[in-house]
């Protein structure tokens, strides 16, 4: 009990210490601990910037796809090109050769031929 009285007397002598403790506590709460702290505000700003970049990427992809759809609606050769490239369709007098740059596929073929 004596120790508590000494601490109370010490705090009474230094009035500025009380204010400093309150100010430091308020800064810590507002800056880091609170749900609406400056730290969470900073993280939310970063997330907003990342999402805006993602929105721009999706808008560019949308415009590219929209232009390709317009081209497919108007140009029959574009449909033929996609059918040949993606679905390996061919005319009667053609042969299709599929070349792959995949190193794993070539390694698997090498393993199968040596066994």
Same domain, 7 and 24: yes
> Does the CA dihedral 99-105-110-115 come out positive or negative?
negative
User: In this structure, are 28 and 47 located in the same domain?
Assistant: no
Query: In this structure, are 57 and 76 located in the same domain?
Result: yes
- Which domain does 26 fall in, by range? 1-34
pLDDT along the chain (115 residues), means of 10: 82 77 84 80 95 98 93 85 78 75 60 50
| Same domain, residue pair 52 and 82 | yes
* 21 and 62 both lie in a single domain: no
Contact between 75 and 82 under an 8 Å Cβ cutoff? The reply is no
**CA distances, 26 to each of 29, 54, 84, 102, 104 (Å):** 5, 37, 68, 60, 60
User: Do residues 49 and 80 share a domain?
Assistant: yes
Return the pLDDT at 103. 63
Shared-domain flag, residues 91 and 61: yes
Q: Structurally, how many domains does the chain consist of? A: 2
Q: Are residues 84 and 96 in the same domain?
A: yes
Residues 55 and 105 occupy one common structural domain: yes
Is 98 found in the same domain as 46?
Answer: yes
What's the rounded Cα separation, in Å, for the pair 32 and 38? 7
With beta carbons less than 8 A apart as the criterion, state whether 98 and 87 touch: no
Co-location of 42 and 73 in the same domain: yes
Q: Are residues 30 and 66 in the same domain?
A: no
**Is this structure's pTM higher than 0.75?**
no
């Amino acid at each position: 009990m004596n120790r508590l009285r000494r601490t109370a007397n010490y705090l009474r002598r230094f009035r500025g210490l009380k204010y400093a403790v309150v100010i430091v506590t308020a800064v810590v709460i507002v800056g880091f601990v609170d749900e609406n702290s400056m730290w969470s505000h900073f993280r939310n700003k970063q997330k907003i910037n990342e999402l805006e970049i993602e929105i721009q990427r999706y808008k560019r992809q949308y415009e590219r796809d929209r232009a390709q759809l317009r081209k497919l609606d108007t140009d029959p050769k574009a449909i033929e090109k996609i059918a040949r490239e993606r679905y390996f369709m061919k005319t009667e007098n053609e042969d299709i050769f599929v070349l792959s740059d995949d190193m794993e596929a070539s390694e698997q073929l090498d393993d199968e031929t040596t066994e």
